[in-house]
Structure 1
Amino acid sequence: MGELEELAQFLHIDQRTDLKTVALQHVLGMTGNKEGLAAISEVPVISGNILQLLNDKDPHIAQEAALALINISSDPSVAKTLLQSTHMTGLVKTLYEKIQDEECQIADAATMIFSNLTRDLVSCSAVWDSLQENNIEIERLVFLLCQEGYNKHGANLRYLATVLSNLSQLSAVRQKILDREQCIIQRFLPFTEYTGNIVKKGGIIGALRNCCFEQDAHDWLLSTDVDILPRLLLPLAGPSPDHLDDDEVENLPVELQYLDEDKKIEEDPDIRKMILEALTQLCSKRSAREILRKKNTYIILRELHKQARFEKDREVLLACENVIDILIKTEEEIAIENYHEVDVPEHLVQKFEQMDKFYLED
């Protein structure tokens, strides 16, 4: 520990470049294993000095410092320590300043650190508090994410999408995204068909899925003001089936009525699963279920299920069947206004979880 404390002096921003380089290389080597990360977390001044090195005039030093913080923050327990340390005061603000600086060469690295810091729910809350303290609005993060070519050095800020997904675990953040005056949720919708980057696409779909946990917003999300349903269904749809009759086609959302032969179902199973989970949440209330049935959501899921039967990821198949099981029932059969208002006994919860486990392992 004494050696690490001594090392910290060579990581000071005013130190000679050669000494900072050697010290950073030593720290980077330690971040490659859990023991090294644990040791670094015991000497918070190390991380504090590395944070300052993000502002180093030497771009190589700044890059190495950013890489070190990516590795250090990759461990959720260490990330908590970073956010609690007095040596890391201004951590979130510093990262934001790097991200929003269009001339910054380490902007992508800053978004990766930001993403690491928001993975754990406790840390996520701490980051949200810091954003509010520094008057950094969710709308600003969305703006930066949506600006293609914003950074002059080619940083695409893709990990801002995972930051938004992680932050949307918090109800307070979901309320910001669902603010009807800001129109943030509408800016997310085109990303369900985005082909530019899988990280960006997956992160935004994760945020959309999380926002579907806000039951009070379901009717609005399905209304023409947002019209989220076609955007969720498009990635799950392949070419329009020949066997559909005219009535079935006409009841589909317009965007899904006549899809070309080259239309492909979303290839990433995690993204398919998140979309299906979003649809499951939208089935919570009777009013929303009736809209999904009216829009022939079942037909899209039925065709998806035909494909999903042959896929390796059983979780996607199970998620698809969960939505189908709800939609094929009549409301008289369901006899529940809101699924979330049902108090399921613990022994039944365990039974259902065990059934799912057997299904996935079959």
Structure 2
Amino acid sequence: MEEQLNSLLEFLHDGNPNVRQLALNHLLGYTVKSSQLQNIFKQNNMRPISDLKNICREDPVIAHDAFKALVNLASDDEICKELNDDNFLHLMIKMITDSKIILSDMACMLLSNITKYQDISMKFLKMENQQVEGLSNSTKAIDQLVDVFVRGLDRVYNKEAEYHFLASVFANVTMLPQGREYFLTTASYDDVTPLSKLIVFTEHPNIIRRGGVISCLKNCCFAIEHHLDMLSPSKINVLPYILLPLCGPEEFDLDDMEGMPEDIQLLPSDKKREPDAYLRQTLLESIVLLTTTRQGRMILRQKKVYPVIRQMHLVESDEKVSIVVEQVVNMLMRDEGPEEDNIVENIRSENPDLGNDNTIEEI
């Protein structure tokens, strides 16, 4: 079987496009991580990977399968290094930002896989692209992708693309301090902080979109120096977008509502909590991180975070989520020492699931 597949690999650079398409069609099933023959794509100094990158530039029918193959193969470290190619990265950016490209979502999927590798994330943060009329006034690739993620909702920008997987790209790049700094700094081209464009999607019905945004938000909470801006209603204002997914249909007492963000004071009777336990845990871990400083804890108390968490705790059935709920309660209800301020090390020792600031679980 392996010998036959090796023969097929030679046809990936055949001069006849029909032959290339037929060969790729037969090889596609062996690109998955569970395939025992996935390593055949590494032979001849990664020639098959080079061929697949070239096919991505062809007719969408065959390019679709090439992208699908690379999405699967990108789980391998050696292959991913081969995809750390400036020309190929620029191709993906152009395909994502062009409103007439059919395979924009496939390019988003591949970019979400390869930006899990720090070298590629770092390069992506620095990349430039030609200004795209009708999309963004910036020439920075990441600015353009944030804008297309927002403007492309419901296939408004490109009828063939939804751009949900860009949320995973943003989650990946915020594993880096430089990525967090980007999302928490006001952009010069539109005077808007990029994170503030994303947080409105923490309750989006698509789990890829909202999951990536929630992970990006949690990663940004590691930037302690930005906590006041993140909590300020006149600046980034993340708190309503963390609390809303944690709220159900329960009503709050008038005393509890005093000081609460207006967005969560009067919720409809059919309000649903985030159904995914991992995402509820991630949102709660964001709150834990925001309790790192005394000022952060004071703001969370003033904003009546505790009543929201208390109501959630009454109906929470997942053990891991309940543990983080209790940690939030402990941080908010604790007595403050006279000189106590930053307590990040205590938080991490009490909650090892927070990990460190360069790890994230894929959604």
What band does the TM-score fall into relative to the shorter chain? 0.7 to 0.9
Q: Give the equivalent residue in structure 1 for 2:121.
A: 127
- The one-letter amino acid paired with 2:63 is A
Match of 2:278 among 259, 262, 270: 270
Q: Determine if contact 1:138/1:176 at 8 Å carries over to the other structure.
A: no
Q: Give the equivalent residue in structure 2 for 1:152.
A: 158
Q: Residues 252-306 of structure 1: CA distance to partner in whole angstroms, max 9, x if unpaired?
A: 2222222221111111112211111110110000001000011110100001011
Match of 1:236 among 246, 249, 271: 246
Secondary structure in structure 2 of the residue aligned to 1:173 = helix
Q: Give the equivalent residue in structure 2 for 1:174.
A: 180
Q: Decide whether aligned partners of structure 1 residues 321 and 265 sit closer, same or farther in structure 2, where only a CA change above 3 A counts.
A: same
Counterpart Cα distance in 1 of 2:157 and 2:29: 30
Q: Decide whether aligned partners of structure 1 residues 202 and 341 sit closer, same or farther in structure 2, where only a CA change above 3 A counts.
A: closer
Q: Give the equivalent residue in structure 2 for 1:35.
A: 36
- The one-letter amino acid paired with 1:91 is F
Q: Give the equivalent residue in structure 1 for 2:337.
A: 332
Superposed CA RMSD: 2.6
Match of 1:142 among 141, 146, 149: 146
1:214 aligns with 2:223: yes
Q: Determine if contact 1:54/1:63 at 8 Å carries over to the other structure.
A: yes
Secondary structure in structure 2 of the residue aligned to 1:35 = coil
Q: Determine if contact 1:142/1:184 at 8 Å carries over to the other structure.
A: yes
Q: Determine if contact 1:206/1:274 at 8 Å carries over to the other structure.
A: yes
Give TM-score scaled by structure 2 length.
0.84
Counterpart Cα distance in 2 of 1:240 and 1:91: 50
Deviation at residue 80 of structure 1 after TM alignment = 3.2
Counterpart Cα distance in 1 of 2:351 and 2:223: 24
Counterpart Cα distance in 2 of 1:89 and 1:220: 35
Deviation at residue 154 of structure 1 after TM alignment = 2.4
Q: Is 123-132 or 324-333 further displaced after alignment?
A: 123-132
Q: Residues 143-174 of structure 1: CA distance to partner in whole angstroms, max 9, x if unpaired?
A: 01111224534210110110111111011011
Counterpart Cα distance in 2 of 1:299 and 1:341: 26
Q: Determine if contact 2:124/2:141 at 8 Å carries over to the other structure.
A: no
Q: Decide whether aligned partners of structure 1 residues 27 and 127 sit closer, same or farther in structure 2, where only a CA change above 3 A counts.
A: farther
* Structure 2 unaligned spans of 5+: 130-139, 354-363
Q: Determine if contact 1:220/1:226 at 8 Å carries over to the other structure.
A: yes
Q: Determine if contact 2:93/2:141 at 8 Å carries over to the other structure.
A: no
Counterpart Cα distance in 2 of 1:182 and 1:139: 11
Q: Determine if contact 1:174/1:210 at 8 Å carries over to the other structure.
A: yes
Deviation at residue 41 of structure 1 after TM alignment = 2.4
* Structure 1 unaligned spans of 5+: 355-362
Number of aligned positions between the proteins: 333
Secondary structure in structure 1 of the residue aligned to 2:258 = helix
Secondary structure in structure 1 of the residue aligned to 2:202 = helix
- The one-letter amino acid paired with 1:83 is L
- The one-letter amino acid paired with 1:233 is L
Deviation at residue 220 of structure 1 after TM alignment = 1.0
Q: Percent identity among equivalent residues? A: 29
Q: How does 1:1-362 map onto structure 2 within 5 Å?
A: 7-12=8-13, 15-32=15-32, 33-43=34-44, 44-57=46-59, 59-73=60-74, 75-83=75-83, 88-119=85-116, 123-134=117-128, 136-147=140-151, 148=153, 149-180=155-186, 181-195=191-205, 197-224=206-233, 225-241=235-251, 244=253, 246-308=254-316, 311=317, 313-332=318-337, 336-340=340-344
Q: Decide whether aligned partners of structure 1 residues 323 and 80 sit closer, same or farther in structure 2, where only a CA change above 3 A counts.
A: same
